[in-house]
Structure 1
């Protein structure tokens, strides 16, 4: 049985469109950042806060942050040197400008990879996305910090930051 060309073309077009839509949904769109997959990074970083997706910062930020864990945003987060090295390697290899580039192009737009901030909350795209959040909301007892993504983004641990 031969299928006429026009219906076949429409079926192929519908199939291609569905694949595109489902692909974006599976990847989470522009608000998806592959979550930490390394158990050591999850354990060490996640013991104090959400283990942030490495693709949210460039490699230079992760190197600077990991090189000064004694002064980790007001806390001493020092680790065994071998553990620090392994975590640094994972973060750098999956950073926004290396292995994690697929997820982070929009987040890092306008950010110099060599002089990027250490805080994700200082990235221009993050600031723009959160500009309507009132100061009192950041101080709410369930939020307390701009770094507490999971307070508002319930899928953050799975890499989803859509509202």
Structure 2
């Protein structure tokens, strides 16, 4: 539940605005409803968020900073010369701006470290992600319209805005997710 709220705050951070979030997902047989109001970003954070989005979304979705803890973002930023097989090196000034931005809005949630407590570089390796996607078959993910778990917005129709609600899931060639 907390992670979903963090995701909504992250969406605000990327969008640079104020957002009211209502979570209506079902978790372990219970119905949850809560909301959080986030404050607008400072002008500097808006500039940093825009730079992050510009640089990172040129290759993949600009994942919300709250999807990983600071130590994961630090490791990611410090290994951009080999970023999952690609050289994603940045200008030193841009690198510093983005790293500071990610550190400021990273998750403080321990459920986001990998299964062995190591620094997770892939969101899909976090225990929370694994638990939430345990019923998704390999066939659903490896199809050409999805390709991998890294392509969040293939199934989560509002992922880029930070919303991962179950009612907004539509898996290509399978339809709406009904849990």
Query: Could you state the TM-score of these two structures normalised by the residue count of structure 2?
Result: 0.65
Query: What is residue 81 of structure 2 aligned with on the other side?
Result: 70
With a CA cutoff of 8 Å and minimum separation of 6, indicate the structure with the bigger relative contact order. 1
The match for 1:86 is 97
Task: Report deviation, 1:33.
Answer: 5.2
Residue matched to 1:111: 113
Residue pair 2:68, 2:113 contacting (<8 A) in 1 also? no
Gapped runs of 5+ residues in structure 1?
1-23, 98-104
Q: Which has the higher helix share?
A: 1
Q: Deviations over 1:57-97 (max 9, x none)?
A: 11111111101101101111111111111100000011002
Q: Which has the higher strand share?
A: 2
8 A Cα contact 2:111 2:128, kept in partner? yes
Q: Once superposed, which parts of structure 1, at least 4 consecutive aligned residues long, lie more than 6 Å away?
A: none
Q: Higher Cα Rg: structure 1 or 2?
A: 1
Residue 40 of structure 1 pairs with residue 71 of structure 2: no
TM-score computed with the length of structure 1 as normaliser: 0.71
CA RMSD of aligned residues (A): 2.2
Q: Which residue of 1 aligns with 2:159?
A: 156
2:169 maps to what in 1? Answer: none
Pick aligned residue for 1:127 from 130, 143, 148: 130
Q: Report the equivalent of 1:9.
A: none
Question: Which residue is 2:147 aligned to?
Answer: 144
Aligned mates of 1:56, 1:87 — CA distance in 2: 15
